[in-house]
Amino acid sequence: MKPYEKRAHQYKHVYQFKVALNDIEPAIWRRIRVPSRYSFWDLHVAIQDAMGWQDYHLHQFEMKRPHAHSVTYIGIPDEEFDDIKILPGWEAELSRYFTHLGTSALYRYDFGDNWEHALLLEGELIAEPGVKYPICLAGAGKCPPEDCGGTSGYFDFLEAIVNPLHPEHARMLEWYGGPYDVNGFDPQQVSFDSPRKRWKLAFQQSG
């Protein structure tokens, strides 16, 4: 069965998550609400859109469930890493893993740059009538550019692009395509894509 074939369109509850990039100061974070019926693939798409990533690279959720001694990996199964069992994100429901407030997970994006996000379940709420979910409630900090070299590369990029006297300033401006505002984030400007559409694009499904 393909994902979304029998997915119910109505939902009564939403999960509130805080997503924060690790090892970055000032903090880059987002607070979002998503339908509680979401899968991990759906949450992945919401995180990408809220943070400002372009979904160019692989991702993975890593969770240690209560009373478990091993880590559960959820994302896109890859035969190259068959020594690690990775559950398909579109088959794993959030409600099976985020069972109580305070449940946390690690969301890893781009295994080269290795962006690590701390994911925390802050609440389960009744969906508000007339509100379209997912929604971004708050946040701070512009998302780092794709392929900038991870945390260390990001700090080098910032140092160069904000200082006109830096020897790499002109090159960084050209590479990025213009000025970079480290505080340039507005939750009201976040636009969420359809997880179903993104899944079809990613796996070349039609129909």
Q: Each residue of 1-50: pLDDT tens digit? A: 456 665 555 678 999 999 999 999 999 999 999 999 999 999 999 999 99
Nearest-CA neighbor of 117 among 185, 51, 34? 51
Same domain, 178 and 195: no
pLDDT at residue 138, rounded to an integer: 98
How many angstroms separate the CA atoms of 137 and 190, rounded? 10
How many angstroms separate the CA atoms of 27 and 50, rounded? 15
How many angstroms separate the CA atoms of 173 and 87, rounded? 40
Number of domains into which the chain is organized:
2
Question: Is the omega angle on the peptide bond into residue 187 within 30 degrees of 0, that is, cis?
Answer: no
pLDDT at residue 207, rounded to an integer: 44
How many angstroms separate the CA atoms of 86 and 108, rounded? 13
Nearest-CA neighbor of 55 among 66, 69, 41, 67? 41
pLDDT at residue 203, rounded to an integer: 85
Q: Is the pLDDT of residue 88 over 80?
A: yes
Asked whether residue 109 is assigned to any structural domain, the reply reads yes
Instruction: Characterize the bridge pairing of strands 86-88 and 72-75.
Output: parallel
pLDDT at residue 81, rounded to an integer: 63
What range does the domain containing 74 cover? 13-143+185-203
How many angstroms separate the CA atoms of 109 and 47, rounded? 10
Average pLDDT of the residues in 105-116: 97
Same domain, 198 and 118: yes
Asked whether residue 77 is assigned to any structural domain, the reply reads yes
**Residue with tokens 């692009």, as numbered in its chain:** 161
Could you count the other beta carbons within 10 Å of the beta carbon of residue 59? 23
Asked whether residue 7 is assigned to any structural domain, the reply reads no
How many angstroms separate the CA atoms of 93 and 95, rounded? 5
Same domain, 85 and 72: yes
Same domain, 64 and 156: no
Same domain, 195 and 128: yes
Average pLDDT of the residues in 111-119: 97
Same domain, 42 and 78: yes
